[in-house]
Amino acid sequence: MTELAVPAPTAASRGGVVLRRALRSRSALAGAVLLALLFLLAFAGPYLTRWGYDDKDFTAFRQPPSPAHWFGTGAAGQDVFAATVRGMQKSLVIGLLVAVVSTGLAGLVGAFAGYFLGAVDRVLMWVVDLLLVLPSFLMVAILSPLFQGSTWLLFVALLAAFMWMVTARIIRGMTMSLREREYVLAARYIGVRPARIIFRHILPNVASLLIVDATINVSVAVLSESALSYFGFGVQPPDVSLGTLLADASTDATTYPWLFCFPAALLVLIVLAVNLVGDGLRDALDPGSGQAT
């Protein structure tokens, strides 16, 4: 949205229009502010408390929230606040990475399939069908022993590998109509290579859908990550994510509610904020929504 810095020319720039529309929606604005605050909490939080996420306070086991331990303590004296903000960091970083990778992959596959059609298209769309038949949760769970004891980046790659299919199909459909447009035909006739046409002319024109999709995918990724971690198929100890924290606390949810409530509430808030921003962006990017809002 750098266009905003330039004094407005006669017609408003597209970025400006979109930003203004998105800001006019109160729920999207609230979502963005909430998300910013959650990021701040996740990354500044560790500096606010003197406890590390793996420190143990041997004078306080399973204590309710107090000035010393803001969110209380766990069974072995862990500080719930420190663990929760650490878990938020992990969940947020994984969510963002997965969304960026999977949306990028969706854009590439969809654009290549829709531009080349023919055999390329048939092969790529068959792969899409195949991956849609294999539920991502099951596949990542099966492969979880591979990243136990190795890097969590592999977990990110696996999550992303099973999340791009539906978007790729939509992008393919859009590309099929874009490739008949005059500017694409002109580029093709003057001899621009297909890869260059895709990156210069096709992908920028489907960018708005990709941006919305990336936003929504953040929330999907955070939810998948926490569900997998909840069953031990995701982030591995000693590292923590909101999913592993909730798994540890789920049996004690009634007896020691603070163990469960804080991570659960923050997880819900993250997903809610991302969904609100995504919904606002979608409305703002939709040309037809101008009169409605």
Partner 1 sequence: MAKFLLRRLLNYVLLVAVATSLAYLLAASALHPRVNYEGRAPRPSEAVIDAKLDALNLNDKTPLWERYGTWATGVLHGDFGKTWLGESVNAEIARRFGVTLRLLVTGMVVGGVIGVLLGALSAVRQYRLTDRLITAGSFLVMSIPVFVLGVLLQVGATKVNDVTGLKIFEFSGEYAAGLSGGFWAQLADRLKHLVLPTISLALGQIAVFSRYQRSAMLDVLAADFVRTARAKGLRRRTALLRHALRTALIPSVTYFTYTFGMLLVGTTLTEKIFGWHGLGEWFVDSVGQNDVNAVAAVNCVAAVLVLVAGLASDVVYAVLDPRVRVGG
Residues contributing to the site for partner 1 (CB under 8 A): 129-130, 132-139, 141-146, 166, 219, 223, 226-227, 230-233, 246, 250, 253-254, 260, 264, 267-269, 271-272, 275-276, 279
Q: How far is the CB of 192 from partner 1 (least distance, A)?
A: 35
Coil, helix or strand at residue 124: helix
Between 34 and 192, CB nearer to partner 1 = 34
Pick from 144, 143, 160, 152: which is nearest to 98 by CA? Answer: 160
The DSSP symbol for 201 reads I
Nearest alpha-carbon partner for 110 in 171, 160, 166: 171
- Of 211 and 227, which CB lies nearer to partner 1 in the complex structure? 227
Phi and psi angles of residue 73, each rounded to the nearest 5 degrees, phi first: -130, 160
Confirm if 64 and 79 have CB atoms less than 8 A apart: no
- Shortest distance, CB of residue 157 to partner 1, whole angstroms? 14
Nearer to partner 1, 19 or 261 (CB): 261
Tell me whether residue 199 or residue 231 sits nearer to partner 1 (CB atom). 231
Q: How far is the CB of 206 from partner 1 (least distance, A)?
A: 19
Q: Write down the least CB distance from residue 223 to partner 1, Å.
A: 5
How near is the Cβ of 84 to partner 1 at its closest, in Å? 14
Q: Which is nearer to partner 1, 18 or 216 (CB)?
A: 216
Give every CB contact of residue 280 below 8 A, 6+ residues apart in sequence. 22, 25, 27, 28, 29, 31, 32
Q: Are 65 and 258 in contact (CB under 8 A)?
A: yes
